[in-house]
Every structure is written in C-alpha cells, then in structure tokens.
Structure 1
Amino acid sequence: MDAARSIFRPEFMNRVDEYIVFQPLDREQISCIVRLQLERVQKRIADQKMKIQVSDAAVQLLGSLGYDPNYGARPVKRVIQQNVENELAKGILRGEFKDEDTILIDTEVKAFSNG
C-alpha cells in the first residue's frame, strides 16, 4: 500500500473503493498450476485416444522455466505450450505418436505403446 501511495496522487487513492494485495506465488503453487495445465493438455489429446504421463522431474522443470515472481502463473502456460504442446504436435505430425500411445513427458518427450 505504501508503494501505491508513493506513486499515485491522494485524489486517485481516495477514489479507489477496495485494495487487494497479492502475494507472489511460491514454487509449490507453480507446480500445482503446471499439473492443472497438463491436465488440460491431456483432455485435448484424449480425442486421439492418446494419454500423457508426466514425471515429477518434468513438472519441476516446467515450473522452473515458467516461474517468474513478477508475472505469477502467466509464463507457465507459454512454457507448456512451447515445450509440451508444440512437441506433441510435431510428434503427431511426424507419425511418432499414434492412437493408443501413452506419451511420457519427462525432461524429454517419448512415446511408448500400451501393448
């Protein structure tokens, strides 16, 4: 609040009805957000009868790449899109990932067949 008061004029501060101060997300919260975003990816590829398995190391890596205390969880979505979704799409287009495959997302993306 003191920072806002030092930047904005008192006339503006008096017009604001409510103040909400956000605390920065910690790494554990970022990991939870990574898992939620990866569940969204799973739902999208389920139409092609594919599954993803995600290792804890991958969650930690994606969380580290997407961690920015200034921007919260916004970078996480971009990191997952660039490092997971784009790689999955490339693998599907190249024919590396097929129907019924389970794709392991670790620090690398690999496919293994269920059968």
Structure 2
Amino acid sequence: FINRVDEVVIFEPLARDQIAGITEIQLGRLRSRLTERELKLELSPEAMDKLIAVGYDPVYGARPLKRAIQRWIENPLAQLILSGRFMPG
C-alpha cells in the first residue's frame, strides 16, 4: 500500500468569494483572541482586498494567507498593543 496512487485529483483555483471566506475564518480566530483583551478588529473592504491579494497565491492557494495575516495585521497590532497605543474598551 505504500506509494500507491489510485487517482489524480485536480483542484480548480479558488474563486475570490472563496478566498474571502477563508480570510474571514482566519480573521475570526484573531478577532476571538482580541475579544479576550476587549479589543475589536474591523477591516475596510479595501484592506480586505489588499490582504487577499498578498495572501493568495495561484500555485499554493490560500496557504500563504495565514502568514500574510500574521505579517500585515497581527505583528503590527501586537506592537501597538504592547506600546500602549491601543487600550481595552
């Protein structure tokens, strides 16, 4: 059974609304963590479009999305929280 391939499955590229859905799921996890700190995250449609553009790769699909969220949202937000610029409420 080792190295046995029964069939090849070809995946179609994700549509923009599918990528947006995956992005919302990933952002939902971040929003849950922020809620524990009494913080709220809202993205403008333009910011969402930019995040999708940098987080989606036609070859790798939505795999880079989590890294893009971390690089462009989580890390800068963490720096702002640690600096005291964002407070609960």
TM-score range, shorter chain: 0.7 to 0.9
**Mapping of 1:1-115 within 5 angstroms?**
15-100=4-89
| Greater C-alpha Rg | 1
RMSD, matched Cα: 1.4
Aligned to 2:47, what secondary structure does the other structure show?
helix
Larger fraction in strand:
1
Task: Please identify runs of 4+ aligned residues in structure 1 that moved more than 3 A.
Answer: none
Cα deviation for residue 27 of structure 1 reads: 2.3
Cα deviation for residue 88 of structure 1 reads: 1.0
Aligned to 2:41, what secondary structure does the other structure show?
strand
Task: Give the letter aligned to residue 73 of structure 1.
Answer: A
Q: Which runs of 5+ in 2 are unaligned?
A: none
Aligned to 1:64, what secondary structure does the other structure show?
helix
Aligned to 2:87, what secondary structure does the other structure show?
coil
Q: Which runs of 5+ in 1 are unaligned?
A: 1-11, 101-115
Count of matched residue positions in the alignment of Structure 1 and Structure 2: 87
Deviations 1:29-53 (A, max 9, x none): 2122111111111001111111111
Aligned to 1:17, what secondary structure does the other structure show?
coil
